[in-house]
Amino acid sequence: MENTPSSITCRANSMPSSLKENSMLSATFKIHQGRLFLLTEGREIEAHIKSCFPWSEDKQFFSIRDSEDNELVLLESLDDLDPENRSIFEEFWKMSNFIIRITSVNHVEEDVELRHFDVETNIGKKLFQTKLEDWPDIMDDGRILIKDLSGDLFLIEDLESMDRKSLKLLEPYIA
């Protein structure tokens, strides 16, 4: 799907000197072949998005970065975007940050250097692996985040709602 650009104005941050003329950047977002582009001053820059505070401020503070991970723009709030750019931004954000929600755990096994998970999720049964030294992250609000070897994110929203078997299998990794 290709989106036609619409106008956006954001605060500029550590932009390349060729783009930085003042404290504001007038630009547009476009998605082409699954990639995000920032269009400004006749230039098309491939970009990606990093959330500065992904768990506490999910609609605020996004760093728009180029392919070398240099920050182009700090977007303080999605509310700063016009409706068309916000739609493009949110579409790309959903595509690039898909989080799989674990509903139960069937099996966890440790092998040489890997931990193998067999889980049920919001999208069906999943098998994934983590390094033995990589532990689940327990968030301040109690949610548990597991990042697999491929970089996919698996989330346990509410540990208390999981069945006994799942709790028993997870206990060594979250206690």
Q: Tell whether 72 and 147 lie within a shared domain.
A: no
Identify the pLDDT of residue 53. Answer: 82
Give the pLDDT confidence of 102-119 residue by residue, as tens digits. Answer: 999 999 999 999 999 999
Q: How confident is the model at residue 26 (pLDDT cuts 50, 70, 90)?
A: low
Q: Tell whether 78 and 139 lie within a shared domain.
A: no
Q: How confident is the model at residue 20 (pLDDT cuts 50, 70, 90)?
A: very low
Q: Tell whether 104 and 162 lie within a shared domain.
A: yes
Q: 128-142 in b/e burial notation, b at 16+ Cβ within 10 A?
A: bbbeeeeebeeeeee
Q: How far apart are the first and last CA of the chain?
A: 44
Q: Tell whether 103 and 135 lie within a shared domain.
A: yes
Tokens of 122: 């919001």
Single out the residue of 101, 120, 115 nearest to residue 158, CA to CA. Answer: 101
Identify the pLDDT of residue 156. Answer: 95
Contacts of 25 (CB under 8 A, 6+ apart): 9, 10, 11, 12, 15, 19, 40, 72, 73
In total, how many domains does the chain have? Answer: 2
Q: What's the chain's average pLDDT? A: 82
Question: Per-residue pLDDT for 25 more than 60?
Answer: no
pTM: 0.53
| Domain of 12, in residue numbers | 8-96
Q: What is the mean pLDDT of residues 9-35?
A: 55
